[in-house]
Structure 1
């Protein structure tokens, strides 16, 4: 089985006048949430082989806090994650189907819709994913990344 770990960025500060959405930092609460997510991943031995992260400041800061707890993992910023629809995310994940355990750090609504798409077969059947939330999906080793093929193994939020 291959595993996909989806991590929604933790709580961010509201944008200040003139600030681009990409530049919003984590709030102090968000930093604590991200560290808690890292502890949960480590306690459950869910250490990624590779990480793809949205280029936004809040996702990068979430990832930094998580890696501060779990240790180093190969990582890459991926522009396509920011504001991605679930189909875009699925395509990106499929490009990394050779990775045994992939962590994707991104945003809603794409993350919660991706969980529904991969497990239920429809992105309209999503149930929410709070800031700092983690979903762990498993895929059969040789299966293509397509709707309904994954199993939701764990769901955690701070």
Structure 2
């Protein structure tokens, strides 16, 4: 079995006048949420082999607040920011050698991806709260495609 873990960044501060969206930091609430997500991942034994993180400050801060991720290969991936489910599927497919892949990114792409991989339909799902975690399990040799995954766990702070 292979696992794809989707982690939406935690709560961020609102953008100030002239602030670039990619530079919004986590709020105090968001920092606590990210730490809680890290504690949950560790308690479940869900340490990834590889982590792909959006370059947005709030995503990088969420990742940093998770705490120790074991021996994970951590990479910043520009294509996650604003990505569609199709872009995220293509990205995950290029990392098929990872047994457990963690994507740290944004809505609506992550929640649509979770729905698409699990049910085969992306629809207008609004079920991935800030710092929410979806764990999707795939048969070992299966391609990452709509409807092939099983949602094994879902958590939010």
TM-score (norm 2): 0.97
Distance 2:36 2:126 in 1: 22
Match of 2:40 in 1: 40
Match of 2:123 in 1: 124
Which is helix-richer, 1 or 2?
Answer: 1
TM-superposition CA deviations, 1:49-69 (whole Å, max 9, x none): 000000000000000001x24
Does residue 63 (structure 1) correspond to residue 60 (structure 2)? The answer is no
The offset of 1:88, in angstroms, is: 0.5
Match of 1:134 in 2: 133
TM-superposition CA deviations, 1:107-147 (whole Å, max 9, x none): 00000000011001111163410000000000000000110
Match of 1:85 in 2: 84
Match of 1:13 in 2: 13
Match of 2:31 in 1: 31
Q: How many residues align?
A: 157
Contact 1:114 1:123 in 2 (8 A): yes
Distance 2:132 2:140 in 1: 25
Superposed CA RMSD:
1.0
Q: Which runs of 5+ in 1 are unaligned?
A: none
Distance 1:55 1:144 in 2: 26
Contact 1:39 1:70 in 2 (8 A): no
Q: Which runs of 5+ in 2 are unaligned?
A: none
Distance 1:43 1:63 in 2: 16
Match of 2:107 in 1: 108
Distance 2:129 2:19 in 1: 23
TM-score (norm 1): 0.96
Any idea what SS the aligned residue of 1:39 has? helix
Match of 2:148 in 1: 149
